Amino acid sequence: MISKKTSRKSTKNQIRNSEPLVTDFGTRAIYRQNFSLAVSVPKLALANIGINGAARVNFQLVQHNGEKFLKISPVKGGGN
């Protein structure tokens, strides 16, 4: 009985420690727009995180283990 609990726990740890799923949406150009820079995001990328139509997103720079990347996540109730 104890071994079953241990195997469940190790399975959960394996899922948490697995590599993240990465979807490549290709290289994007960066445009100058007044005092900002803009990057177009494909509709498919936004649809994959649950954004359809007008909405708002949270945009974060993540620095972890020597890697730097941008994180975009939907904001609930963020429609215009």
Q: How many CB atoms lie within 10 A of CB 65?
A: 4
CA distance 24 to 45: 9
Enclosing domain of residue 65: 2-74
- 11 domain-assigned: yes
- 80 domain-assigned: no
| For range 40-67, the mean pLDDT | 85
Confidence of residue 12 (pLDDT cuts 50, 70, 90): low
Q: What confidence score (pLDDT) does residue 73 get?
A: 83
Sequence-distant (6+) residues with CB within 8 A of 32 are 38
Q: Which residue has the higher pLDDT, 55 or 9?
A: 55
Q: What confidence score (pLDDT) does residue 3 get?
A: 47
- 44 domain-assigned: yes
